[in-house]
Amino acid sequence: MARRLSMTTRRELITAVGERYRRSSRSGKQQILDEFLKLTGYHRKHAIRVLGREAQPQKARPGPRRRYDDESRAALITLWEAADRICGKRLKAVIPTLLESMTRYGHLSLADELRERLLGISAATIDRLLRDVRQHAFGGQRKRAGGVGNAIRRAVPVRTFADWVDPLPGYLEIDLVEHCGGIKIDGDFVHSLVMTDIATGWTECLAMPFRNQTFVIEHVERVRAALPFPLRGLDSDNDTVFMNEGVFEFCKNTGIELTRSRAYKKNDQAWVEQKNGSIVRRLVGYGKLRGLQATETLASLYRVSRLYINYFQPSFKLKSKTRHGARVTKHYETPLTPLERVLRSTSVSEATRQRLQEEFRALDPVDLLRRMREAQRQVAECSATGSGVTGVRTDSEVPIAEFLTSLSTAWQAGEVRPTHGRKARAVRDWRSRRDPFAHTWPKIQQWLETEPGVSAQQLQKRLTEMMPELYSGAQLRTLQRRVKEWRANRARELVTRILGDADAVEAAAATRRQPPPQNNPEATITPE
């Protein structure tokens, strides 16, 4: 029986039985004790001690101490906006970097106690404090053509997702993202060439006016010179822009190892596919870009964003994956920025580390974010107008002090990325079906005049009895709206008549007498 009693029930039983036990005689105590032991299963000596002592009043527990107040939440919102609205785990990893950089440039001035709280905050607490802020801020396979590419594909070895075993920095996955605005109909559109290092997550994005192997080779050369580590290998999909003789010979002559994924297996390129969404689509959106000027505008956005992403944006890296039946459990390493992973790599020289640290100390994350927003605005203009913006510049007209102040309240405006603004929908002024009361509205109006209190349901019943081949209960909701509108106009007419405005009376009467616009056999009505 003891296992069936909860702790609360035991306390109540001890309180009720204990008072009677202490007042009883020796024989009475023995009888009470025997009954108590059957109920609780206690040891006899323990039961004697429990029932023999006076009940002590329970001390009231103090309420939970609120560690993170409104001031902490306001500072956290500013840091979240400065980090481009990343998740709590990634934000926790970049908070020390942002605090140091923003304090160095005078963007933040926090008390020591508040600074310590922000440095010690957990990812779960970040998500809890920003839950309402986030909710307010945010709303078949193709048949492959044959040709010369088949011979190149056979010459390029296949590398799957499982074949990457902790590689050195320098092995990059590459992919193309087309900015065609959804379903492609015709024409050449701007493409983004995305290159992601598997070991560090270092990502480079470049703009191409259209798909061409010459642009791919040129951009790979540029990235090769800009990377903080040697370019050791390229892993692409089976696209003909990569699987061609030009790219194959370029990699062979430069000593770059060229591999490819399996056909129609996107998970083989999981790293770059993830960056296509978290970086390219997050920055550029899904608009349509076409032409050289749009390409230059997109390139200006990538020139600014590469510094912000690689120096101030932590990313996850899969540590282990375990399958238990149909359930897969994944464990991730602590989020780090690509720069931090490069600095921790033993294959990077000391001179390169010093150069990167000097470049990092010279960067202002808030200023980079401000320039990114301005570049995104120009990309959005290109997408909306279908042409480029002349005189492209990435310096925002908004002063940095004003931009910094706006970070604490930007979440209230919802989506702030110009490339993700929703297009205004056209006002629907057309009808999609015939008006069921086009020929009977004069009769209905006569009934309303003679019987002001009649309901729409009664009117519908009369129409059904008169013309059962035309009317049923399906038109009731439409009739209710019509009657409601007629009575509203009638009420306005009466009020105006009381006020003595003859012109307004006549206008209201004309509105009331006006028949519905659908008096011809082709007339229709607005859908529900």
At 74-89, the pLDDT tens digits run: 999 999 999 999 999 9
> What pLDDT is recorded for position 521?
41
- Would the pLDDT of 525 be above 70? no
Mean pLDDT of 276-280: 93
> What pLDDT is recorded for position 24?
85
Contacts of 267 (CB under 8 A, 6+ apart): 161, 273
> What pLDDT is recorded for position 173?
95
CA distance 158 to 55: 76
CA distance 248 to 257: 10
How long, in residues, is the chain? 528
525 three-state secondary structure: strand
Q: For the whole prediction, is pTM greater than 0.85?
A: no
CA distance 297 to 375: 7
Average pLDDT value over all residues in the chain: 85
- For helices 245-254 and 213-226, the axis angle rounded to 10 degrees is 20
Out of 211-215, 392-396, 429-433, least confident range: 392-396
- Would the pLDDT of 228 be above 90? yes
The helix (H) or strand (E) run that includes residue 322 is strand 318-324
- If we measure between CA atoms, which residue out of 315, 278, 311 comes closest to residue 201? 315
Confidence of residue 61 (pLDDT cuts 50, 70, 90): low
- If we measure between CA atoms, which residue out of 257, 203, 248, 249 comes closest to residue 226? 203
- Would the pLDDT of 253 be above 50? yes
Residue 159 CA: distances (Å) to CA of 162, 164, 263, 453, 470: 8, 8, 11, 79, 68
- Would the pLDDT of 192 be above 80? yes
Residue 54 CA: distances (Å) to CA of 23, 34, 51, 297: 12, 20, 8, 81
Mean pLDDT of 444-463: 89
Mean pLDDT of 239-260: 93
The helix (H) or strand (E) run that includes residue 244 is none
Q: Are 191 and 177 in contact (CB under 8 A)?
A: yes
Confidence of residue 510 (pLDDT cuts 50, 70, 90): low
> What pLDDT is recorded for position 29?
85
Contacts of 13 (CB under 8 A, 6+ apart): 5, 36, 39, 40
Dump pLDDT digits (tens) for 143-155. Answer: 445 555 577 888 8
User: Which percentage of the chain shows pLDDT scores above 90?
Assistant: 48
> What pLDDT is recorded for position 526?
38
Neighbours of 518 (CB within 10 A): 18
- If we measure between CA atoms, which residue out of 84, 21, 77, 73 comes closest to residue 47? 21
> What pLDDT is recorded for position 81?
92
Q: Are 310 and 202 in contact (CB under 8 A)?
A: yes
Dump pLDDT digits (tens) for 386-418. Answer: 765 554 444 447 888 899 889 989 888 888 888
Strand partners, 204: 195
The helix (H) or strand (E) run that includes residue 482 is helix 476-499
Residue with more model confidence, 356 or 62? 356
> What pLDDT is recorded for position 520?
42
Q: Are 233 and 163 in contact (CB under 8 A)?
A: no
Strand partners, 322: 329
- Would the pLDDT of 12 be above 90? no
- If we measure between CA atoms, which residue out of 418, 315, 309 comes closest to residue 374? 418
Mean pLDDT of 57-71: 71
CA distance 104 to 114: 17
Out of 73-77, 160-164, 228-232, 237-241, least confident range: 160-164
In 153-261, at which residue ranges do the beta strands (DSSP E only) sit?
171-178, 191-197, 203-208, 233-236, 257-260
CA distance 360 to 369: 15
Q: How many CA atoms lie within 13 A of 411 on its CB side?
A: 20
Token digits of residue 222: 């540029």
User: Measured between alpha carbons, how far apart are the two ends of the chain, in Å?
Assistant: 64
- If we measure between CA atoms, which residue out of 247, 248, 276 comes closest to residue 175? 276
The amino acid that residue 373 corresponds to is: R
- If we measure between CA atoms, which residue out of 487, 462, 485, 490 comes closest to residue 475? 462
Token digits of residue 32: 């009470």
Q: What sign does the CA torsion over 441, 445, 451, 457 have?
A: positive
Name the DSSP letter for residue 347: T
The amino acid that residue 68 corresponds to is: Y
- If we measure between CA atoms, which residue out of 368, 355, 432 comes closest to residue 395? 368
- Would the pLDDT of 300 be above 90? yes
- Would the pLDDT of 96 be above 50? yes
Dump pLDDT digits (tens) for 100-118. Answer: 999 999 998 999 999 999 9
Dump pLDDT digits (tens) for 322-379. Answer: 989 889 999 999 999 999 999 999 999 999 999 999 999 999 999 999 999 999 999 9
- If we measure between CA atoms, which residue out of 374, 168, 188, 198 comes closest to residue 274? 198
Neighbours of 499 (CB within 10 A): 9
Topology, domain 159-319+329-398? Nucleotidyltransferase; domain 5 (3.30.420)
- Would the pLDDT of 195 be above 90? yes
Domain boundaries, the chain: 2-52, 70-137, 159-319+329-398, 433-525
Q: How many CA atoms lie within 13 A of 72 on its CB side?
A: 19
Q: Are 173 and 269 in contact (CB under 8 A)?
A: yes
Neighbours of 38 (CB within 10 A): 10
Q: Compute φ and ψ for 162, nearest 5 degrees.
A: -75, -10
Strand partners, 171: 233
**Strands 318-324 and 233-236, bridge-based pairing:** unpaired
Q: How many CA atoms lie within 13 A of 304 on its CB side?
A: 25
> What pLDDT is recorded for position 392?
45
The helix (H) or strand (E) run that includes residue 214 is helix 213-226
Mean pLDDT of 466-483: 87
